[in-house]
Amino acid sequence: MTPHPILSRCLRARSRSASPCSRHHLAMFLIFFLFYPAVASAVEWSPLISRLVADGFDDQRIHRLFASPEVKFEPDSMSKKIEALIKKKDRRSVASCPRCREIYQSFLKPDVINDARAYASENKVILDHIASSYCVPGEVIVSILLVETRLGKNLGDKNAFNTLASMALTPELDMIRPYLDSSLIKPRTEDFARSRCRQKSNWAYNELKSLIRYADQSGVDPLRIPGSIYGAIGLCQFMPSNATIYGVDADQDGRIDFFSPSDALHSIGNYLHKNGWTCRIGKKKQYQVIFAYNHSRLYAETVLAVAGRIRNGGPLAMSR
C-alpha cells in the first residue's frame, strides 16, 4: 500500500534536521491513513477537537460538529496562504498576479458604477444613518461592498468552518507540503515557511473559535456559513473575530448578522471609524484607513477611485 503523501513527507522530515512532524501526528497518520483510510477523515480532527474542548467548548457539541459529513479537510487555504507569503517576501506578488490590476480596474467600468449607484440609492436610509453615526460617506461604504463581494453577489465559494478548521489543523509545513508549489520551498525560504505556517495555524484556530461563537450568537449553523478562501464572511467580508470588535446590530434584532445589509454596512462604517475615519479626514488618512481594511495598496486606491465615481454620479449620503 502506498503511504499517504502527508505521511511520506512527515517520515522524510524526521531524517532531516529541520523541524519534524510530532510523534503524535506521525502515529495518527500511520494508524489511520495506512490501516483505516475509511475513517481517517473523521479521526484526523482529534487534536483540534481536544484543543477546542480544552478551551471550554462543549465536548458533545464539538464532536457532533466534526462528525458531520459536511466537515472536510481542505488544504488549499493554508497552502495558498503560505505560497502568497513566500512570494510577497520575495517581492514577487505583482508578478504572481499579473491580472490583479486588470481585475481592480474592472470595478471602474460604467455599468459596474451604475450598479453601485443603484445599490446606494436603494439603501439610502441605511447609508444616511451610517454617515451621521460614523462620518463615513455612503459612497465609501458601497465602494468597499462592491470590491469585497460585488454588492453581495459573491460571498465566497468556500465553507468558512472547513477553511479555518483545516488551517488550524496544519501547524507543520510538512502536512501541507504535498499541496505546495515545490519550486517555492527552498533552503532560503523553508524556515520562513515553517514559521508562518505555525503562526497562521494559530491565527486560524482563534478565528475558528470566533466563528463558532458568532454562529451561536447569531443563531446559525456554523457549518452553513460561506466564506472566502481564508475564512472571511458576510457582505463585509469580516474575519469572525471582528464580530465582537466591530459588529453592529443595526436593526436591533438581538444578533449581529453580517449577511444582513443593515448590520453589514453599519459594521463597515464602525470599522472605518474606529480605525481613524473622522468627519474632516484628509485624502492621505482616507487611504491609510482603507488600507487597514485590506492590506493592499491597489485595493485602497481602487476603493477610493470607485467611491469618487459613485459620488460624481449624483448626491449620496455624505459625512456631516
The mean per-residue pLDDT over the stretch 39-51 comes to: 74
Q: Is 269 inside any structural domain?
A: yes
Strands of the chain (E only): list them: 158-159, 226-227
Q: Is 27 left (phi over 0), alpha (psi -120 to 50) or beta?
A: alpha
The verdict on residue 100 lying in a domain is: no
| Residues 138-172 as b or e (16 or more Cβ within 10 Å = b) | bbbbbbbbbbbbebbeebbebbbbbbbbbbbbbbb
Structural domain that includes position 266: 109-155+234-312
For residue 128, is it within any domain? yes
Model pLDDT for residues 86-99, shown as the tens digit of each residue: 998 876 544 456 67
Return the ∠ at Cα 62 (arms to 57 and 66), rounded to 5°. 150
Task: List, for residues 175-201, the tens digit of each pLDDT value.
Answer: 999 999 999 999 999 999 999 999 999
2 has a pLDDT exceeding 90: no
The residue out of 202, 224, 246 marking a domain boundary is 224
- Do both 20 and 132 map to the same domain? no
pLDDT of 98 reads 62
Domain of 118: which CATH number? 1.10.530.10
Confirm whether 251 is domain-assigned: yes
Task: Let me know whether 17 and 128 are in one domain.
Answer: no
In a domain, 319, yes or no: no
Last residue in a domain, options 224, 243, 271: 224
Same domain, 299 and 241: yes
Using DSSP, how many helices (H) and how many strands (E) does the chain show? 18, 2
Would you state the cell numbers that stand for residue 187, as one nine-digit string?
Answer: 533552503
107 has pLDDT over 80: yes
User: What is the rounded distance in angstroms from the CA atom of residue 194 to the CA atom of residue 68?
Assistant: 30
- The tens digit of pLDDT for each residue in 201-220 reads 999 999 999 999 999 999 99
Same domain, 145 and 263: yes
Q: Are residues 58 and 183 in the same domain?
A: yes
0.85 cut: is pTM over it? no
Q: What is the per-residue pLDDT for 97?
A: 62
**73 with 166, same domain?**
yes
pLDDT, tens digit (0-9, with 9 covering 90-100), for 122-139: 999 999 999 999 999 999
Would you state the pLDDT for residue 103? Answer: 79
Lowest mean pLDDT among 42-46, 108-112, 296-300, 301-305: 42-46
9-23, 151-165, 250-264: the lowest-pLDDT one: 9-23
Question: Of the candidates 174, 194, 224, which is a domain's last residue?
Answer: 224
Mean pLDDT of 27-55: 64
- 136 and 274 assigned to the same domain: yes
pLDDT at 89: 83
Same-domain pairing of 186 and 268: no
What mean pLDDT is predicted for residues 255-276? 98
Whether residues 9 and 147 share a domain: the answer is no
Same domain, 165 and 151: no
Residue 298's pLDDT is 93
Mean pLDDT of the chain: 87
Letter for the amino acid at 20? P
In a domain, 250, yes or no: yes
What's the rounded mean pLDDT across residues 25-48?
A: 53
Q: Which whole number is the average pLDDT over 269-298? A: 97
Q: Report if residue 101 sits inside a domain.
A: no
Residue 316 in this model has a pLDDT that exceeds 70: no
Residue 240 shares a structural domain with residue 295 = yes
Per the domain annotation, does 317 fall within a domain? no
238 with 215, same domain? no
